[in-house]
Structure 1
Amino acid sequence: MFAVIRTGGKQHRVAANDRIVIERLTADAGDAVEFDDIIMLAPDGEAPLVGDAVPDAARVFGKVVEQTRGPKLLIFKKKRRKNHRRMRGHRQDLTVVKISGVSLDGSVPVAAAAEAPMAAVATPAVEEQRIAELVE
């Protein structure tokens, strides 16, 4: 199963055990992350689900490997015959994420649960179940 997710203004095709480099996330190395902005989902052996056909509960789970920076990009501006030159540089902050699994119903994959504690990442269905147990 694979999915196409949107994060940081870009789209990424991900599957279980993939390592992706994305725009900076506010998470530390080792933290579990959850992506819910899914554009396309392709279950194994079935037709792909695109756009509104993707269930709202679908999630992609991952683990932050490291926070890093991209290569230095040089910006050089020049106005000819004016002796005007400007050199600037820029390095983008990036996050490396290892995808633990893709879920249609929002449940945490078994491999992801074994790797990192996912207690901090609770899905709405899990929260509703916990509230129902407390009320009873």
Structure 2
Amino acid sequence: MFAVLKTGGKQYKVQSGDVLRVEKLAADAGETVQFNDILMVGGIVGTPTVAGAAVQAEVIDQIKGDKVIHFVKRRRKHSSKRTKGHRQQLTLLRITEILEKGGEATGVKAALGAGSVSAAAVVAAEPKKGSAKKAVAKSAAKKSGGGNDLKQLSGVGPALEKKLHEAGVTSFAQIAAWTDADIAEMDEKLSFKGRIEREGWVEQAKKLADG
């Protein structure tokens, strides 16, 4: 029996025992993974996939494909040429089992592409120093009724107010309580180094907060 599975944006026709290379999967050598996007199995054609069908495979190794050279040269452009090499990261698999139904109940790890969860997303999800304090401040600002009109501060327009909101700053009281370290951090976030002290935001915020 054969099946047609989809992974990494490509389709593969496979049978039990076949060895194939696919776009890199998030799995280690020796693990068993299961493909659930099955377009065809035996004589059953999916619409677009076959419900309950699955293909299981053993990960043999994580490898790299052949080196590909990209050479670009522009006509009539002096010394305008570029050479770049690339080796695609791949996963070597051996097909172990093809299931016409019951694939959703096997409990085998799903075959997910390594790019499904990027390194950047993992880093972004990691808690950073002071993030808990900022989250509490942001939550408190939301509960207090949506904060103040930060555009009352000198030099703050709609775009800059939006950046402040994204950083969790929504009230004059928050700005009035900024320390030197907070000001330096916000300078970096807003890309306006020295502007907070130059415009006197902290002093303005203290007066506005007092009414």
TM range (shorter): 0.7 to 0.9
Quick one: which of 108, 121, 126 aligns to 1:121?
Answer: 108
Task: Give the SS at the match of 2:62.
Answer: strand
* Post-superposition offset of 1:120: 5.8
How far off its partner does 1:101 sit? 1.0
> Whose strand proportion is higher, 1 or 2?
1
Give the structure-1-normalised TM-score: 0.72
**Residue 101 of structure 1, aligned match among 97, 101, 104:** 97
- Give TM-score, length-normalised by structure 2: 0.47
Does 2:74 align with 1:87?
A: no
1:130 maps to what in 2? none
Match of 1:61 in 2: 56
List runs of 5+ in structure 2 lacking aligned partners: 111-211
Are 1:19 and 1:99, in contact at CA under 8 Å, matched by a contact in 2?
A: yes
Runs of 4+ in 1 over 6 A off after TM superposition: none
Greater per-residue helix proportion: 2
Alpha-carbon distance between aligned partners in 2 of 1:120 and 1:33, rounded to the nearest angstrom: 10
For 2:102 and 2:20, the matched residues in 1 are separated by 21
Instruction: Give the match for residue 78 of structure 1.
Output: 73
Provide, for residues 78-99 of structure 1, a one-character-per-residue CA deviation record: whole Å limited to 9, x for no partner: 0123221110111100001100
**Which residue in the other structure is 1:25 paired with?**
25
Greater gyration radius:
2
In structure 1, the gaps of 5 or more residues are 43-47, 108-118, 124-136
Q: Any conservation in 2 of the 1:41–1:54 contact (CA below 8 Å)?
A: no
How many residue pairs align between the two structures?
107
Bigger relative contact order, structure 1 or 2, given CA contacts below 8 A and separation 6+?
1
Q: Provide the residue aligned with 2:3 in structure 1.
A: 3
Identity among equivalent positions (%) equals 42
Tell me, yes or no, if structure 1 residue 41 matches structure 2 residue 28. no
Q: Which amino acid aligns with 1:121?
A: V
| Cross-structure match for 1:129 | none
